[in-house]
Chain A
């Protein structure tokens, strides 16, 4: 199993450009998540999807959109990038929070918005 994969690993954008961060998991997990990590802030939840076909806002959803394309894939889109969105983005998946091993994380995407 590849676990959780993310593409790209690094990206530089200019203010106003758009891009989509891709995430896929091959563990047949129901729930998927997008986080951003900023120094001293821990991880903050952007959006999550409890199951295929559903998405919900997290703590910091403004400026982002998501698509749960199927059970495997959960993408994050920045329609008009801003410097405040410079961060490291992590995708995660979860099978069962009570019986599982917590969330599985992808390697992260480092995004720089100039």
Chain B
């Protein structure tokens, strides 16, 4: 069965430290993978996508994600966290034009 898992409900990081939000997936074939962000009381915004090619994908607001086929992971990373990065992050996989969403990880950046 195709699925996306975000194993952490919440991630706490001090401002200025690197952050990682984890995502693993299960699919037959090659996945298309996305990260979306939802800021408090606002709609969803696209961050970045992996379709093919370079395993390191760069996106908006200084975020990047690393695609690892052997570990079936697509972790979201940022070298130096900002308080303004605090939000809800979703990992998403495309499967035949239907998007399969992870449950979301709440990222809290403390000053």
Write the residues of chain A forming the contact surface with B, with a CB cutoff of 8 angstroms: 31, 33, 35, 40-45, 48, 50, 58, 90, 92, 97-98, 101-108
Q: Assess whether A97 is in contact with B32, with CB atoms less than 8 Å apart.
A: yes
Q: Assess whether B90 is in contact with A43, with CB atoms less than 8 Å apart.
A: yes
Q: Assess whether A44 is in contact with B101, with CB atoms less than 8 Å apart.
A: yes
Q: Does B25 contact A (CB under 8 A)?
A: no
Which of B13-21, B43-51, B66-74, B76-84 participates in binding chain A? B43-51
Kindly state the separation between the CA atoms of A107 and B39 in the bound complex, as whole angstroms.
11
**B interface secondary structure, majority:** strand
Q: Assess whether B98 is in contact with A98, with CB atoms less than 8 Å apart.
A: no
Kindly state the separation between the CA atoms of A98 and B90 in the bound complex, as whole angstroms.
19
Q: Report chain A residues within 8 Å CB of B104.
A: 40, 42
Please, what's the 1-or-0 string for B30-69, where 1 marks a CB less than 8 Å from any CB in chain A? 0010101000001111100101000000000000000000
Give the shortest distance, in Å, between A72 (CB) and chain B (any CB).
Answer: 19
Closest B residue, CB atoms, query A99: B51
Kindly state the separation between the CA atoms of A50 and B42 in the bound complex, as whole angstroms.
26
Q: Assess whether A58 is in contact with B32, with CB atoms less than 8 Å apart.
A: no
Q: Assess whether B103 is in contact with A42, with CB atoms less than 8 Å apart.
A: yes
Closest B residue, CB atoms, query A101: B46
Give the shortest distance, in Å, between A110 (CB) and chain B (any CB).
Answer: 10
Give the shortest distance, in Å, between A99 (CB) and chain B (any CB).
Answer: 8
Q: Assess whether A40 is in contact with B34, with CB atoms less than 8 Å apart.
A: no
Q: Assess whether B97 is in contact with A31, with CB atoms less than 8 Å apart.
A: yes
Q: Assess whether B98 is in contact with A48, with CB atoms less than 8 Å apart.
A: yes
Q: Assess whether B43 is in contact with A107, with CB atoms less than 8 Å apart.
A: yes
Q: Report chain B residues within 8 Å CB of A106.
A: 43
Kindly state the separation between the CA atoms of A92 and B94 in the bound complex, as whole angstroms.
14
Q: Assess whether B101 is in contact with A43, with CB atoms less than 8 Å apart.
A: yes
Q: Assess whether A98 is in contact with B43, with CB atoms less than 8 Å apart.
A: no
Q: Report chain B residues within 8 Å CB of A45.
A: 98-99, 101
Q: Report chain A residues within 8 Å CB of B8.
A: none
Q: Assess whether B97 is in contact with A103, with CB atoms less than 8 Å apart.
A: no
Known contacts A41-B103, A42-B102, A102-B49; A90 and B44 CB within 8 A of each other = yes
